[in-house]
Amino acid sequence: MAYVTSAGAQPPAPPATPPATSDGCIFCDALASGDDRGNRILRRGPKAFLILNKYPYASGHVMAAVNRHVGSLEETASEEIGQVMELVQAAVRALGRAYAPEGFNVGLNQGRAAGAGVPKHLHIHVVPRWSGDVNFMPVVSDTRVLPESLDTTYDRLLVALGS
Ligand SMILES: [Zn+2]
C-alpha cells in the first residue's frame, strides 16, 4: 500500500494518482457511473466534484476535480476552478471535523513532468497531515496498525461534509 512509511520527513509533494487501468479516465469513468459509493464520490457539483483517492497518501486523502475532461488550468473556466476550490475548502472543513489534522497539503500537479498521474483531467489533492504523521502509524508490539478502510473514510467524510 502506498502509505507513508517514513515519519517526520520533509513535507511531501502532492502524490501522483496511479494511472487509469483502461484507456478511460478514472475521473470521467467515476462521474459517468451512477455508483457514487463504489467510486467514492463524496460530492457532485455543476462544474466540479469531490472524490476519495483510492490510493491514499494518508487516510482522508481526497481530490477535487473539474467535471470536464481538461488537463490544464488554461483550459478551465474561472467558475470551474472556483468550484474546485470551494470543494477543496469543504474538504478541509470536513477533514478538520472528522480527523482534526494539524495541517494540510493542497496541491495541483499539471502535466506528467510535474507528477500528475492523470495529466489529462485536472484535479487538486487534499491530504491531511499530522506532525510526523505518526497518528496513523502507531506501532504496537512491532505490528503496524493499518489506517482505516476506504469505506470507513468515505462514511466519515460524508457525514462531515453533510453538516
Ligand atoms: Zn477525464
14-60 tens-digit pLDDT: 555 554 444 589 999 999 999 999 999 999 999 999 999 988 888 89
Question: Residue 96 pLDDT more than 50?
Answer: yes
pLDDT value for 145: 45
**Residues 88, 90, 91, 92, Cα dihedral to 10°:** 90
| Cα(69) to centroid(ligand 1), Å | 4
Ligand 1 centre to CA of 55 (Å) is: 18
Ligand 1: distance of its center to the CA of 23 in Å? 11
> Is there a catalytic annotation at residue 123?
yes
Q: Choose the catalytic residue: 61, 69, 121, 123.
A: 123
In this prediction, residues 1-11 reach a mean pLDDT of 42
Task: Please state, in angstroms and as integers, the Cα–Cα distance from residue 47 to each residue in 4, 10, 13, 83, following that order.
Answer: 32, 34, 26, 6
| Residue 8 falls in which region: left (phi positive, over 0), alpha (psi -120 to 50) or beta | left
pLDDT of residue 148: 85
Mean residue pLDDT across the chain: 83
Q: What is the pLDDT of residues 128-156, one digit of tens each?
A: 998 877 544 444 444 444 578 899 999 99
Please check the confidence at residue 78 and state whether its pLDDT lies above 60.
yes
